[in-house]
Structure 1
Amino acid sequence: MPATVILGGQWGDESKAKVVDFLMSSHEAVIRFQGGANAGHTVVNDDGTFKFHQIPSGILYPDVTAVMGNGMVIDPFAFRDELGELLNRSIDVAGRLLLSSAAQVVMPHHKFIDSLMEGELKKNHIGSTGKGIGPAYSSKHSRRGMRMSDFLLSKEDLHEVVTRATEWGNRDIELFGAPPLSTKKVAADFVNIQELLSPMFTDTQELVTRWKQEGKNIMLEGAQGTLLDIDHGTYP
């Protein structure tokens, strides 16, 4: 499986999407494998300007399959809005925009905690985009998060999962002296978006393994930049 990997060598804003768009014609699939809605990938073509945050920018090629992989933290509501913009501009994604069921979900408390942490740091703030990316990855590694696969549960079970995760988040919110989120409202919002997301889920690990066997040309579209990495970049 030949693969082309596009990564940023700085703090982001290296025109990664422009490079992806330039090279995409020789590839059959594109995979976003990390990050979330804090990315801002802009493509300008004959149809105008497109701004991507979570959906791989290679989706603009009609014969390309786009995958949002298990390493991402996905904001389902931001995804809904981004998808809506593509559909409004007659970009057909049916059957070729796929979501990993193992990806983590960015929840409302993640974004709230993100903003609270930035406010607490004051002049030493790290310049977070407020999209909840860091807190979502923290929930993932502490096993207190929600996976995209939870959208495949019954409405009742999904409601329970969202309620439990939000209760965990509210404990952290209360440490800042801020008011907790309404678990009832958050759970209802997630149940309402369930129908939109469910048809797009797939086992991306099995899919990529099959692509490897078939020798497909794959584009791996990175987000942010190397110098934002907590191991290889600046810290804190």
Structure 2
Amino acid sequence: MINKITIIMLTLMTVSIFGQKAGIHHELNASIVPQESSISVIDEITISESALNFDLTFKLHDALKVSTSKTVMLVKENVNAKDIGMDIDDADSESKLKLNQYTVIIPEGHKGDFNFTLEYNGKIESPVEQSEENYARGFSESPGIISEIGIYLAGSTYWVAHFEDQMMSFNLTTTLPKGWKTVSVGKRTLDKVKDGLHIDKWESPNPQEEVFLIAATFHEYSYPMGAVTAFAFLRTPDDGLANKYLET
């Protein structure tokens, strides 16, 4: 679950397994309207030839409606969710999310990598609540939320098709209202405003367990550190606080 949505300094942490090849690649385009808690996603998925021998079922948040496709078939509804990725440390907490389970239909005799497009949309608005486990620490949590205050989407949200026991790589392009900033894992390769909308792109070629996205009307600070750049995203402008974190 999430207790990170209210922090002012975002430290990017995720599970990346070097030396292991990703069996799934997601080319994601997500359009988000925070005021409506809504999201529309076009996901161009590539399943590597080696992964075609494994279970080709995936799970997705049941509030997300999948467009009709000859490649994907709904096989089970009302599936219980479990925490994955960055929220796995809260695995003892019961998730209230329900999922839909789909299977990918591979044409008979197909060889090589398999590509298909998955389109879906819906609202993600799980309330931020304080669990008994985190009450003493003053933490609140949500498996995923899109709101005017901010956005938190992660593995535990099941907002991206989750294939069990498969590592993934991804490119994520987001479209949000002007003034919003996004944070994900990998390298940000696009950061621009067009037609009153803010567009970001994050590229993560290394194998990951999940795709997470944090967004709000952040004030961005950066600090070059050799070949990489460190970022701080603050709710309110504070040069001193940003420098304190970035130069540590």
Question: Which bin holds the TM-score, normalised by the shorter protein?
Answer: under 0.3
Calculate the TM-score normalised by the size of structure 1. 0.25
Q: Which has the higher helix share?
A: 1
- The higher-RCO structure (CA 8 Å, 6+ apart) is 1
The answer to which structure has the higher strand fraction is: 2
